[in-house]
Amino acid sequence: MKKIFTLILMLATVATFAQSLTVAYEGTPVNNGDTLEIVVPQLNTTIDYYLDLTNVTDNDVTMVVYKNDLDMATGASASLCIGGTCFPPSTTESNPMVIAAHTTLSHTTSSDAFHLGYKTPAAGTSYVMFTFSNYDNSDDCTSVVFKLVYDPTSIDMVSNVTKMRAYPNPASDNVTVEYTVSGNANKVQLVVKNLLGATLYTRNLDVNANKVKMDVSDYPAGIYFYSIEADGRPLVTKKLLVK
C-alpha cells in the first residue's frame, strides 16, 4: 500500500506542470502520469520497448531521462537505453540530449531514440517509471510508468515467428511476405505502419500458410514497417522500402 501511495503522489506532482515534450507508444499518445501495461512475452530475454518523444515548442529542449524502479519482480532488471546503448540497470539518469523544436525522437527515424530494456527470469510484475525532464527547468517534465507483466497463464505461451521476409524490397507495386508462425494465438495479423506509427494495412494470417501478397502501389515512396502481431502484440517488425 505504501508503494502504491508513493506512486500516486509522485504522478500527481508531475502532472501539475506544462510539458514541452509529449510521449507516444506504438503511435498512440501517452498522457503525463499514464501507466502502460505490457505483457512480457518470454523469460530470460531482454526486450526493448520504445517511446517516441516530441518537442512541441518553438525552441530546442535539452532533455534528461530519469529511471525509477518503483517495484520489481524477483530477479527482473530494467535498463535505460538511448539508441544502441543500454546503461546498466543501476543507472538512474541519462546524459543531457537536445531535441530540436517541433521534432520527434523516434526509433523509426533516429539512431538516438529512447527505449526501455527489460528482462525477467520468472513470473511477476514490475513497475518502472521514466521521467523526461527539461534540463533547464525541472518543473517541465513528463512521466510514464511501465507496468511489465509476465504471467504464463495469461500469455498462452505467445506465438513465435521463426521466419519473416518481404520481397521485392524495395518495392513499387506488389510485395510478397513469407512467414512461419508457431504457437496458440487466437488471431495473427500482418500490419503495415508508416513512419508516424499510423496503421495503413492489416490482414489476418493463416498460421498454416506461409505466404501472402499485398499491393503497395498507392503508397508514397518512403520507409514503412511491417509486423506480425499475435492477439495485438507485435512479435517481429521489419523495414519495408517503397520506391
Q: Tell me the per-residue pLDDT of 132-188, one tens digit each, with 9 for 90 and over.
A: 999 999 889 989 999 998 887 655 444 566 678 899 999 999 999 998 887 767 788
Q: For residue 218, is pLDDT > 90?
A: yes
Same fold for the pair 2-153 and 156-242: yes
Read off the pTM. Answer: 0.60
- Residue 13 predicted with pLDDT over 50: no
Q: pLDDT tens digit string along 183-212? A: 767 788 999 988 777 889 999 988 788 899
When comparing pLDDT for 14 and 66, which is higher? 66
Domain covering 2-153, topology: Immunoglobulin-like (2.60.40)
Measured between alpha carbons, how far is 22 from 27 in angstroms, rounded to an integer? 12
Find the Cα–Cα–Cα–Cα dihedral 29, 115, 14, 145, rounded to 10°: 80
Mean predicted confidence (pLDDT) in 46-65 = 92
C-alpha span between 69 and 192 (Å, rounded): 34
Q: How far is CA 123 from CA 39, 62, 69, 129, 205, in A?
A: 11, 38, 17, 20, 30
Q: How far apart are alpha carbons 19 and 56 in whole angstroms?
A: 9
φ/ψ (deg, to 5) at 51: -120, 135
85-to-62, 78, 113, 152 alpha-carbon distances in Å = 19, 13, 10, 30
- The residues spanned by each domain of the chain are 2-153, 156-242
Cβ count within 10 A of residue 54: 17
Per-residue pLDDT at 242: 93
With a cut of 70, say whether residue 3 has pLDDT above it: no
Calculate the average pLDDT of the chain: 84
pLDDT of 16 over the 70 cut: no
Query: What CATH number was assigned to the domain covering residues 156-242?
Result: 2.60.40.1930
Predicted pLDDT at 161: 66
